[in-house]
Structure formats: C-alpha cells, structure tokens
Structure 1
C-alpha cells in the first residue's frame, strides 16, 4: 500500500514538472543581409533561438553565425518594430565573439536593470519590470529582431525577425499521464485485494 502511494506521489511530481515547463516560450529566426533595413548583399548567414522563461524571468539566447565580412563588433535584440522597420536596442549581447563565424549562448536576468539598453529601459518606464513587459509583448507580437554588426555594416550585417515556435506538448506529459493512470489502476486493484482478504 505504501509503495502505491509513493508511486502516485512520484507520478504527481512528474506531472507538475511537465506543467512547469510550459512557462518557456520559444522564438527563432534566420539571420541574413536581405532582412536588414535597408537590405544588403552580404553572404553571411546565421540563426538565433530565444527561450523566454516566464516563471524564472530569464531570456536564454543561442546564436550561430558564419561568413561576416569583418569580425562582429556587437549584436543585440532590438524591440519593438515589425519586419522592414528599425527599432532601438533592447538587450545588448555582452561578450559577443569578435569573429566572422561563431556561436554565442547566454542567459539574461530580465529582472536586472543592467540587462537592458539604457534607452530601452528609460523609454519603457525606467524599471526592469516595465522593460520586461514591453520586451515580452514585443516578442509575442513578432516585433523583436536579432542583428549582428561589424565595421563594414555598422547598422547591422545580418538580421532576422523573431517568430514564435508553435508549442508542442510538454516533454514527458503523455508518459506522465500514462504513469499516473497506471499507478491509479494499481492502487485500486491493490485496495480491492485488501478488501477481499479482509
């Protein structure tokens, strides 16, 4: 009987952890010169994945790029403007590699004022909470983009508008449901056996 309860508890924890994962919103884009405003003929390309954890209030970025015409001098998330328009820097990517090809990963604390470009923070109420709200709304509305700058293209050599990745089922949610149903069935059967022998 005790092992059935432990199993039910473990299944409930697994279901709870699957639900917690639903707080992560994912965005992605392809970076290229034709997406810059104005467009350019750069042969450089890249990709960007952004993971917004609304529970932990963090933003993780994973960027790869290749073929820049000069070493990167900066990279950012800009917000809030539709494709074909420019916007100010929302989050500068600290310690971005000064290379022509590379990868960059970082996680930003959205509750810290230092995460945001000063102008973005000031324009959006002056507090991290209001800057975070503006950025989250911009991401969800498709009004944020990533770009990479260098000396040959000071306004940005490659850019991509971030778009939401359609959410799928939380990893393990189906398995957790099956485990929970099996545990419940096992508990009911063991309870019947106890009642029948008692």
Structure 2
C-alpha cells in the first residue's frame, strides 16, 4: 500500500511539474555563424539570437545581435522546418521581406521586437497555407520545430544573399522548470531506498 502511495505521489509531482512547465513561455537560443549555413561559408561574422514564444498568448519576442558581416545586412527570418534537426534548409516561416525595423545596410547591429503570432501579417503566407491555412496551424508547426531543433534564424547580406550567418534555435530550460523537475528527486530516492535489499 505504501509503495503504491509513494508511486502516486511521485506521478502527481511529475505531472504537476510538466503542466507548470508547459504553462510558461519557452525560450530558444542560437549562436549564428557562417559555418552553420548550408552550404557553409567562410564569413568571420558572429551573432546570437534569443526567441521567447508563448503559444497560449500568441506572444513571440526576438532579440538578436550580429557583428562583422562581410556584406551589408539585408533580410532576417525564422525558417522552418528542416527534415533533420540541426541541418538542412527550409522555407521562410515569418514575414517577408524581413522583420520590420531589422538593421539594414550595416555590418554590426542589434535587434529586438515583439510580435503577435495570431496575426497573419507575422507569417509568410505560404507557411500558413502549408500548415492548415490558419495562424493556429502555423503557430503549432513553429512551436513543434523549435522544440525539435528544426527551425533556424538566418541573416542575409549583400555578400551572401542566401544567408551569411545562421543558427538552429534550441530550447533553453527555464530555472523554474528545473526546480519543478528536481522536486521529484527526493521521492525517487525514497523509492530506491525502500527497494534496496537489506544487507
């Protein structure tokens, strides 16, 4: 009976942790480089991007920086979805020709913006069409790709029109999620201790 109670408490703690983790906005990040392009290039440029996406509230924020482009900056997009995580190419998921206000005609820059993903204007129309014809379908597809590592951020330049630097976006565990998941650790240790044979 006690064994079943312990297992029940453990399951409840883990379910609570997972549910709470899903309720929070998720954060994704990538380092940008020419080596990560397809095909890779010799650009010495570097960059980084952080994306926060909350599908429940249709909130998506982007914070990006880049330095040392060989060409002058042009467009920037989120692409989705490659067949294999961390490799390959995919079409543009977000608005065309680029994010509004993205630094143009520079070799170094910073960018920060917040978007409402329930608006069709956030998306490339073909991405919506390819995912059920609704913004909800587009949101679900992007979220799945962000979680799977099959979506990337790309900066195009005059020297590399197909993309000078890019990086595949990967989830960053939130501190709260780690705490919730670790909360079940004492229960696991308790169960293990009770199962250990007496010596």
Q: TM-score, normalised by structure 2?
A: 0.73
Q: Which residue of 2 aligns with 1:87?
A: 90
Using the alignment, how far apart are the partners of 2:161 and 2:143 within structure 1?
27
Number of residue pairs matched by the alignment: 155
Q: Which residue of 2 aligns with 1:62?
A: 63
Asked whether the 8 Å contact 1:23–1:55 carries over to 2, the reply is no
Query: Which stretches in structure 2 are left out of the alignment for 5+ residues?
Result: 1-19, 181-199
3-state DSSP of counterpart to 1:136: helix
Q: TM-score, normalised by structure 1?
A: 0.73
Using the alignment, how far apart are the partners of 1:145 and 1:20 within structure 2?
23
3-state DSSP of counterpart to 1:152: coil
Q: CA deviation at 1:20?
A: 9.5
Which residues in structure 2 correspond to 1:124-143 (within 5 Å)?
124-143=131-150
Q: CA deviation at 1:21?
A: 9.8
Q: 1:87 to 1:21 in 2, by over 3 A?
A: closer
Q: 1:133 to 1:22 in 2, by over 3 A?
A: closer
Root-mean-square deviation over aligned CA pairs: 2.1
Using the alignment, how far apart are the partners of 1:125 and 1:86 within structure 2?
21
- Equivalent of 2:119 in 112, 137, 158: 112
Q: Which residue of 1 aligns with 2:50?
A: 49
Q: Which residue of 1 aligns with 2:186?
A: none
Q: Does 1:151 align with 2:158?
A: yes
Query: Which stretches in structure 1 are left out of the alignment for 5+ residues?
Result: 1-18, 174-198
